[in-house]
Amino acid sequence: MSKFSVISPIDGTEALSVDYSTDEQIQQALDAARQAQSVWKGLSLVERKSLVSKAVDWLVSHKDEIAKSITTCIGRPISQSPGEVRGLEERARYMIDVAEQALADIVPTPKEGFKRYLRREPLGTVMIIAPWNYPFLTAVNAIVPALVAGNTVLLKHASQTPLAAQLFQQAFDAAGLPKGVFQTLYMTHSATERVLRADYVDFVAFTGSVEGGKRIQSTISERFIGAGLELGGKDPAYVRADADVDFAAENLVDGSFFNSGQSCCGVERIYVHASIFDAFVAKFVEVTKQYKLGNPTDPSVNLGPMVSAAAAANVKAQIEEAVAKGAKKLIDESLFPAHAEGTAYHAPQVLINVDHSMSVMTEESFGPVVGIMAVADDEEAIRMMNDSCYGLTASIWTKDQEAAEAIGSRIATGTVFMNRCDYLDPALAWTGVKDTGRGISLSELGYHQLTRVKSYHLRDA
């Protein structure tokens, strides 16, 4: 039986070793999911909501164990890891609460002699392929609505975060879901592709890289099943001339460097009106220097290692390329003693004199680096923000809500923020454009891609 190891970025040692699911175990899981689906669908919505709620209760009650697993596997500071459980609960509770409305029958204008309505039904079995960077938050976006809607779920988590998969399994087992309704599988890429090609999975929800999304789409191309693909991001912020400079800088530092910048909706490029550029940059650098990089098990640390030494090396390469093309580094790495080449520990870096010839302004960094560029006006800011192959979120920092809405209407993005960033409101659809992918999670609309519509056209005898 083959295994995979989880190397903790804290110290580069093996945190745990996990057996891959065998072909027999995978087939048993697929058969169990198919058999369980009719039973699960047959329960009332109230019953399904109750059982899923119990699983959420279990997860919340095990928040310390969850936080420790996050810190161990990806290096997020233990001072911040518990926040993922709070976010998980907020999203899960919201999606459970809106299920009745989201899944309610749609009744057209009455027509004499007929009863007509549209009803949402579960798709069948949903495979969720979850990423490592927010191992509970990202997975819950699909797990909860898929189950509440009446689907069975197969969870294939990232190889860096098998502990998250194990904890999810324990939660749903403790909640008492029927056997086969929720199962976890530990699979290689090739095994995952074989499952997706077979006639056992009715929808796949994938969060990951653009290349991974293309591979998923190619794999299912000969089948008539849907896919939700949440892929890359290079999210911009625009600080207008009327913005509160200190407020914008403090929030954008957090939006850029939380989770060591390893967030799909983290801020990776900032455009600032030229009239306040110097003041904004000075404040941004001041706040950045207050961060403490170090061992994430230390409660005083608020910036941990990246997920791997290789990830840190990619960020370093982007910075070096930008500097070679004329960019200027504003952070002296010696201010962060834990910063060390060849390890996962990378100091936050702020770059100016940047432009779009540099990969740091156009390609996903997924690390603690941000470029800040001066712009002359709204028109230039809009042009720069749209000069990207991605479109997940964009934030506008201003006192003028009307201007923010007008600018937002012209940005190719899934979410427009004003005076905030890097947050998912479960009442709003989480979606993107261009290479950020397709599909919707969260909000009432998040139930739509996890169900199909059946029309009932009943004529009186």
CB of 379 closer than 8 Å to CB of 406: no
Among 64, 50, 206, 215, CA closest to 127: 206
What 3-state class would DSSP assign to 192?
A: helix
What does the alpha-carbon distance between residue 317 and residue 336 come to, in Å, rounded to a whole number?
19
Task: Record the tokens describing residue 8, joined without a space.
Answer: 């903790």
Candidates 90, 193, 211, 230; catalytic one: 230
Query: Which helix (H) or strand (E) covers residue 238, if one does?
Result: strand 235-239
What 3-state class would DSSP assign to 291?
A: coil
CB of 172 closer than 8 Å to CB of 178: no
CB of 36 closer than 8 Å to CB of 28: no
Torsion of CA 106, 109, 113, 118, to 10 degrees: -20
Task: Look up residue 147 and give its amino acid.
Answer: L
What does the alpha-carbon distance between residue 88 and residue 60 come to, in Å, rounded to a whole number?
9
What 3-state class would DSSP assign to 437?
A: strand
Within 292-442, strands assigned E span 328-329, 349-352, 369-375, 393-397, 415-418, 437-438
Within 284-347, strands assigned E span 328-329
Query: Which helix (H) or strand (E) covers residue 386, if one does?
Result: helix 378-386
CB of 205 closer than 8 Å to CB of 145: no
Task: Look up residue 203 and give its amino acid.
Answer: F
What does the alpha-carbon distance between residue 253 and residue 295 come to, in Å, rounded to a whole number?
20
The verdict on whether 230 is a catalytic residue reads yes
Among 81, 88, 51, CA closest to 64: 81
What does the alpha-carbon distance between residue 104 and residue 96 come to, in Å, rounded to a whole number?
13
What does the alpha-carbon distance between residue 276 and residue 242 come to, in Å, rounded to a whole number?
9
Residue 417 β-bridge partners: 395
Could you tell me which residues come within 8 angstroms of residue 99 by beta carbon, excluding any fewer than 6 positions away?
45, 49, 145, 148, 149, 447
What does the alpha-carbon distance between residue 165 and residue 230 come to, in Å, rounded to a whole number?
19
Q: Which residues are catalytic?
A: 230
